[in-house]
Structure formats: structure tokens, C-alpha cells
Amino acid sequence: MGLLPLFQMSSKRALITGITGQDGSYLGELLLNRGYEVHGIVRRVALEDPDHRLSRLGGILPRLKLHAASLESFASIHRVVHEVQPDECYHLAAQSFVSYSFDDEFSTLNINIDGTHFLLAALRALAPECRFYFAGSSEMFGLAEEAPQNERTRFHPRSSYGISKVAGFHLTQNYREAYGLHASSGILFNHESPRRGFEFVTRKITAGVARILAGKSSELRLGNLDAQRDWGHAREYVVAMWQMLQQSEPDDYVVATGECHSVREFADAAFSYAGLDYRRYVKPDPDLFRPAEVNLLRGDAGKARRVLGWTHRTGFEELVREMVDADCRAVGIERGKIP
């Protein structure tokens, strides 16, 4: 058998679902920088409205190969896997807003569980050597019986989103055990950045601060200020995803900072950084409370540290400041020149 041409040997092919989101965009950058050929699955509407829906992909867009497909259609997932023949597949796409999962349990469960199942089944049939990453979530711990939570902590999800992630986690584990797929799950705690969607509380707060500074708004309505989360920087969390797939054996890993803060502390830090007192602007809104809340999440990433050599770098205050600065710039304010 002759040697493969150099260009075929030099780069691995990665397939990312959810490439247009916060994590997908950081992961796409990381993989391109490491010489991968990066393919992404996107909804057809995203290709029709690139300025809006592909905005996070910015400078890397010309280097990506995007495929229109739907996680709700096995046929379309099967087609893309057949075309791409990936070496690594990162399954990040989901209905990922916990609050919305209470409004529409059916579509959350369908998209999140079927989408994972379709992808695993297609890989098993068409690319069984492909390494698979499943985006698990600390929401799987839900009403956790211990803190911090690690890979052995029992799951007690509190929303259909959390339930869908537990199902995806077990599907991933089952494809690993039953069919020998190199399939790993990251149990990622909350991870934020200036690319976070506006519906999530951190970005809602930092964008709210910027709007108030710019005189475009006078208050910020929030729900449960006492919920506590372990917030890290998304750019660092995608490194752990990649590291998981470089291990000889597939496994599951918690990825977290080990520190937790309340929503109130996040608001306080963001408003204070802008020279404002959050108590003047934040208005409690009972409609924003969830029917079942996850009160406290704090992760123990000891295994990821030991096995992957992964560690977080960005601290809480630094994360808050980076997000406030970015949102202020977006409304034309330099923080040093706050009126």
C-alpha cells in the first residue's frame, strides 16, 4: 500500500455540533490552531442569516466547513457523519437554557436526548474509530447530596434539561461499554465569557450594567439572587474537552473551578466594578424564579487535574471584569471614562 499524500496525514478532522455557540466558537479556534480540519453542524437558518447567527465565529468562519443539518433528523446527522468521516466529534449542541426547559419539556427532551442518540448511532455505524465528546453538565447533580460534586456524586436533576443531560451521559457511557466507542463525557460546571448568550444570568448582568451606564436602561430584573454557581471561563473549559479525547482511554471528568459565588455576589462584583451599587438597580422578579431550583453547585475537578493536567486560570473577579469591559465596549463606553 502506498503512502498517503502528506496533506491527508497532517490534519485530523473534527466535527463540532453547536459550533455557533460560546463553547463551539472557542473550541473551533483551539482546533484550527492545532491544525485540525474543522467541520461544524449548523441549522440551515444559520447559513441564511450569517451576520446574526454566525457572529461568534468571526475571523475563523472562512476556515470552517459548515454543514446544514438538524439534531432532530437522524437522516441529516447520518449524512454529515458519512461525508465528514471525523476523527473526533464534539457534541455541544443542545437546548441549553435551563429556564426554557420548564416552558417546553418536550422539545428539550427530544432535541437533547435524540440528538445525542442519533450522533452516537451514526458514529457507531460509519466512523467507529471516531473519538466522541459529550457535553454533560453540572445540572445533572441538581439537588446534590454533597459539595463539592465529583464524578461519583449521585445525579438528582431538577429540570428536563438536567434529565436530558443525564440521559445523554448514560447513552455515551453505554456506547462506550457496549460498542467500544471512545466516548467521554465532560461534566462541565457553569462557564462564561463575553460570548455567553444574553439569556444566561452572568451575561444578563454584565450587559445590564453596560446598558445602565449608557443610559439605555434604569433597572435590571433578576430571579433568585441566592443561587450559587461555580463559574469559570469558557475558553479554558474547551481545552479540557480536547484533552479528554487525547487520552488513550475514554472516561468522564468534572471540569470546574472549585469556587462558588451567589448570583448576588456576581451582580455586586459587576456593578461595583462599574462604580455602581447593585441594590439601586437590581429588582427582584418572582416570574424569573424556576419551579425547581438548583441552589448550590461547586465542582471538584481533582480528576481532571490529575489525569488531564487541566486547571482553570481565570478567577471570579477577572471573569466579571472581562465581561463588563466587553459589554461596555459594545455600547461605546470605555470603563475608565464612565460618566
Contact residues toward ligand GDD (CB under 6 A) are 96, 98-99, 137-139, 189-190, 199-202, 204, 222-224, 227, 229, 263, 288, 290, 293-294, 297
Residue 161 annotated among the catalytic residues of the structure: yes
Least separation in angstroms between CB 264 and ligand GDD: 9
Distance from C-alpha of 290 to C-alpha of 241, rounded to nearest angstrom = 29
293 is catalytic: no
To the nearest whole angstrom, how small is the minimum distance from the Cβ of residue 290 to ligand GDD? 5
Task: Assess whether the previous peptide bond of 148 is cis (omega < 30° from 0).
Answer: yes
> Residue 173 or residue 224: which is nearer to ligand GDD going by CB?
224
What is the closest distance, in whole angstroms, from the C-beta atom of residue 225 to ligand GDD in the complex? 6
Q: Which is nearer to ligand GDD, 122 or 135 (CB)?
A: 135
Distances (CA, A) of 213 to 76, 84, 209, 272, 327: 46, 47, 6, 12, 10
- For the bound state, the minimum distance from the C-beta of residue 141 to ligand GDD, rounded and expressed in Å, comes to 8
Report the distance separating Cα 174 and Cα 187, nearest Å.
16
**At residue 83, what are phi and psi to the nearest 5 degrees?**
-70, -45
Question: Which one of 36, 90, 133, 161 is the catalytic residue?
Answer: 161
Catalytic annotation present for 273 = no
Residue from 25, 76, 101, 137 carrying the catalytic annotation = 137
Least distance to ligand GDD, CB of residue 320, Å = 14
Grouping H, G, I as helix, E, B as strand and the rest as coil, residue 61 is helix
Hey, what's the cell of 301?
475537578
Cβ partners under 8 Å of residue 280, min gap 6: none
CB-CB neighbours of 235 under 10 Å? 21
Give dist(CA 98, CA 294) in Å, integer: 10
Strands (E), 104-146: 131-137
Residues designated catalytic: 137, 139, 161
